[in-house]
Amino acid sequence: MLNYPDIDPVAIQLGPLAIRWYALSYITGLLLGWWLLVRMLRRKELWKNPPFAGKPPATADDIGDLFMWTTLGVIVGGRLGYDLFYGIFYCSFWPAGRDCGGLPMAYWHNPLNLIAHWDGWVPRLLGMSFHGGLIGVAIAILLFCRNRKLNLFAVGDLVASATPIGLFFGRIANFINGELWGKVTDSPLGMVFCNATIMKTYGGTCPAGTLPRYPSQLFEALLEGALLFAVLQIGIRRWRWHERPGLVIGLFFAGYGLARWTAEFFRDSESMIVGWFSMGMLLSIPMWVAAAFFIWAAYEKPPWTRP
């Protein structure tokens, strides 16, 4: 059995203000993604062939501005997506879910719960949804490209190629927080998600119990983050996938959906639907549908995919 480290979820405490590893993971993922995209734009060999003919789909200044748009999209979309997919849809049909806690009626009684829970004057997010954040980012990219008259699919490919960085750090933060743990196991990979910090946070108890569980957060970090990032970057550099605008987006959707579906078999999902089928698996299905569309568009080359 592996040892679960005792890491305080609060990275920095500044008086009443607590800066958590979870927040830092979002910041790190966004900043590293920004840095990577600027480096990619400056590599002339990536853009020498048609359909780009030596002109990248955006400038470094464009990416800097897009960073602000996508940051807002991640935060607003992630939070409202959690409200919609889990708090309202899932908890309406399966109210006994582990994290429902009176949802969705709790939104009706206190609409501020749609945004966050207030601990005194400090807001604390109740949950974030990757799929909601993805929708928020997609809307941000759409509006930004229309405003700047940039090719939507080509810019989307760039963003998709860097997104696994944020997924990696987000799952590492879930691991530090001791949340989204895996199923009980007698495997040597199991660990007990219980330490002094968790017990202090939850009044002397550990929500995951004292039985060894899979570190499913790390599995997701490796599958959705490191592996998917490596596949997309190698595909762009070796097989030049980005030269078919929309293809990288489609392969990202397909890869994330497959990674999430696989990880759900190890994760003790807080949103089970029936048997082994979870909400995370259900949300993977529309991602595969979207993947099929983008891959089709990349090879059919409809007008809106052309720079």
The mean per-residue pLDDT over the stretch 13-22 comes to: 81
pLDDT at 147 over 90: yes
Tokens representing 28?
Answer: 């790190």
pLDDT bracket for residue 110 (50, 70, 90): confident
Residue 162: C-alpha distances to residues 78, 156, 221, 248 (Å)? 18, 10, 14, 11
- List of residues 6+ apart from 209 with CB closer than 8 A: 184, 194
Q: How many CB atoms lie within 10 A of CB 244?
A: 21
Minimum mean pLDDT among 101-110, 133-142, 192-201: which range? 101-110
Q: What does the domain layout of the chain look like in residue ranges? A: 10-55+138-305
Look-up: residue for tokens 């529309």?
286
pLDDT on residue 307: 55
Indicate the pLDDT class of residue 116, thresholds 50, 70 and 90: low
pLDDT at 302 over 70: no
pLDDT of amino acid 303: 61
pLDDT category at 112 given cuts 50, 70, 90 is confident
Enumerate helices (H) and strands (E) in the chain, giving the number of each.
11, 6
> Which value, in Å, is the radius of gyration of the alpha carbons in the chain?
20
| pLDDT at 15 > cutoff 90 | no
Lowest mean pLDDT among 7-16, 182-191, 199-208, 291-300: 7-16
- pLDDT classification of 117: cutoffs 50, 70, 90: low
Mean pLDDT of 88-92: 92
- Per residue in 150-168, pLDDT (tens digit) is 999 999 999 999 999 999 9
Average pLDDT over residues 211-239: 97
* DSSP E strand stretches across the chain: 10-14, 17-20, 117-119, 122-124, 272-274, 277-278
Q: Contact 264/278 with Cβ under 8 angstroms?
A: yes
Q: Three-state secondary structure along 12-30? A: EEECCEEEEHHHHHHHHHH
Residues 6+ apart with CB under 8 A from 244: 298, 299, 301, 305
Judged against a pLDDT cut of 60, whether residue 270 lies above it is answered with: yes
CA distance 298 to 291: 11
Q: Give yes or no for a contact between 55 and 47, defined as CB atoms under 8 angstroms apart.
A: yes
Helix (H, G, I), strand (E, B) or coil at 233: helix
Predicted local distance difference test score (pLDDT) of residue 304? 57
Average pLDDT over residues 8-21: 83
Q: How far apart are the first and last CA of the chain?
A: 53
Q: Distance between CA 35 and CA 39 in Å, rounded?
A: 6
- What does the pLDDT average to over 131-145? 96
